[in-house]
Amino acid sequence: MAVPKRKMSRSNTRARRSQWKTAATVTSTCPRCKAPARPHQACPSCGAYKGRLYAEAIRSELQD
Amino acid sequence: MPTPPKGPRLGGGPAHERLMLAGLATSLFEHRRITTTEAKAKRLRPLAERLITFAKRGDLHSRRRVMTVVRDKSVVHELFTEIAPAMAERQGGYTRITKIGPRKGDNAPMAVIELVLEPVSPKQAVVREATKAAKKAAPGAEETAQTPGSAESAPSAESAPSAPSAEEPAESNEADAKE
């Protein structure tokens, strides 16, 4: 089985991990309550999407 | 018929997937609106719409074909007697999937899949009639095509306030803008 010949230096490890980033979530504004909401999804604060309400589903499924 | 989905089955195998989809379809017709993961909702949609098409046909053979998926007789009865007449005017697109975001615990993207029970919006009907009339009329006689279209739109505009639920999808955007 192939194994590394050398210990990986701290510098190389950290250089690799420096590219390990997270991106900010894209949000848009809910037209009903003006809270930030993800595009193409029901608003998490008021549950509205295209004039329909999904607040109950959000309350029962997403919150503990 | 929709194309078979690519990628792995839901659950542990083809039989398990069939069972899961049958259960989801049964719950959808029983409750009209169910919350599930996006992947399951997307797989359920073609199956559920096919079952509704069978229900709209309404004969014994189609009922037996639905019974092979939905095992609950009372749910099948409800599908044939209540859901199918409500969908009579609609030409496909019987279900609607709305994403509601990732769930706590495993971060799975969740969605609500529901039956579209609202009446077909009068706006769409008017547009369809107008295009039909335009097609029927000769391309040279444009005025004759215009007059039936305008005559059709006037009574439907009057009938719209009497059926507020029918107007809901069309008016929702305006209502949002007002708020």
Q: Which residues of A touch B170 (CB under 8 A)?
A: none
In the block, tokens 């095509």 appear at B145
- Cβ B112–A54 below 8 Å, yes or no? yes
User: Which residue from A minimizes the CA distance to B167?
Assistant: A51
Mean pLDDT for chain B overall: 80
Model confidence over B99-123: pLDDT tens digits? 999 998 999 999 999 999 988 877 7
What is the sign of the dihedral through the CA atoms of B156, B161, B162 and B164?
positive
Q: Alpha carbon of B143 to those of A6, B123, B134, B148, B150: distances in Å?
A: 85, 21, 10, 9, 11
What is the sign of the dihedral through the CA atoms of B38, B42, B47 and B50?
positive
What three-state secondary structure class fits A33? coil
Model confidence over A22-49: pLDDT tens digits? 999 999 999 989 999 999 999 988 899 9
pLDDT at A10: 97
User: Which residue from A minimizes the CA distance to B35?
Assistant: A57
CA neighbor of B96 nearest in space, from B125, B79, B117: B117
CA neighbor of B37 nearest in space, from B92, B116, B105: B105
Identify the helix (H) or strand (E) that includes residue A35. Answer: none
ipTM of the complex: 0.78
- Cβ A61–B103 below 8 Å, yes or no? yes
**Cα–Cα–Cα angle for B56, B59, B62, nearest 5°?**
75
Q: Alpha carbon of B153 to those of B83, B148, B164: distances in Å?
A: 29, 9, 17
Q: What is the pLDDT averaged over residues B28-52?
A: 94
CA neighbor of B29 nearest in space, from B104, B109, B94, B118: B94
pTM of this prediction exceeds 0.90: no
- Cβ B176–A32 below 8 Å, yes or no? yes
